[in-house]
Every structure is written in C-alpha cells, then in structure tokens.
Structure 1
Amino acid sequence: MRQRPGMETNSEKCVICGRSVETESKQSFCRLHMEAYRNIVKNYGNWRNAYGDLTPEEFLKRLENNEYAGKWVKEVARVVLSSRDLLQLFLDDLSCLSKKD
C-alpha cells in the first residue's frame, strides 16, 4: 500500500482491539479507546464525590460492571485493571489532573 505524502504510518497497535495507535500514547490505545480512557480519567472526581472514598481501582471495577457504561469504557477499565503498568499510568494521570484543579 502506497503512503500519501504527509501521512505517517504507526505500526504500534492498540492493546485492546489491535487498531493502529494514531498518536503517541503512553497507554497504546487507538483513538476510540483513548477517548474512553480520557473520559474515565476526567470523570473519576465526579464518581469520587458521589461515592465518597472511592479508590481508583474500585472506580475501574465499578465501571467494568456498570450496565450503563459503554463498551469502550468497560474494555479500557478491564485492561487497565489487568496491567500493572497501565494502572500506574492511570494513577499518574489522575495525579496530574488533580494538580491542575
């Protein structure tokens, strides 16, 4: 397959679905799973306010089993919980977010 000028190929694949990772991503997620990941990070504070002392791990477990959560969110929650490295990146991202507030 010929590449158009200005288009870069990234051979890295999403750890969840195998799609191409479009941008530099520490988490190695495709665009769709990265969007779900960002929403998870962004909304942790809301859940923590609603449920009290909710740890990040408990939050991810609740998302994974929440009938109202979307497929992408559930997949991201499951994979982050199953990977020590991804869980640490998630904790780091939560920490960075709380410093911005």
Structure 2
Amino acid sequence: MDRELRKSIVQYRERSRAVKLYLLKRANGVCEAYGSKAPFIDTKGDPFLEVHHTRRLSDGGPDHPEWVAAICPNCHRRAHYGLDSYTVNSSIADYVSSKENSLRRV
C-alpha cells in the first residue's frame, strides 16, 4: 500500500529552563491548578509536574513565572482540551498571580 508523503513545517518556541526550574521549586511537588500532590516521582527522584503557560507562547504569552504554572498531567490536559478549559486557565492564572505577589512581599 502506497502512502502519500506530506511535509510540514513546525515552529518551536524556546522555553526557559530557568523558568521551569523556578516553577518546580515554587510548586514544591504540588499541582498549582488544584493543589493535589504530583502523581508520581520521576527517574531523577523529583515530583512529576508539567509546565503550563496560561497565555500560549504562540499567542504572544511570555515565558515568565507570572504566566506559567507547574501542574499535574491531568490538569494540563484539562487546561488545553477540557470543556471548562477557559475557567481552568483563569483559575490557574489567578493562583499564579496571587502566589507571585505574595512571594514578592517576602
């Protein structure tokens, strides 16, 4: 069976490793969407959380801790594909803003 060959161009936006490390430390093993513990420990011995931008980089969102959260994989999928994704993202953005403001006051 012959398959048609297709080409595609993919744009990749470089993400800051420093931001990721900061977020994982800020989250301290707890999902910043709903407060549950990370679902498992990764091969490095760290709680597994994913980085989520509350404003997509492709839409001009910044790669900055005020706009990014460390969340569990289920919440990450929900934030992108859930019927309530707008509400979930708004909730995460509010939490992150509050957290960053409180950290600045320390």
Q: TM-score scaled to structure 2, two decimals?
A: 0.29
Which of 1 and 2 has greater Rg?
Answer: 2
Bigger share in helix: 1
Question: Highest relative contact order (Cα 8 Å, sep 6+), 1 or 2?
Answer: 2
Higher strand share: 2
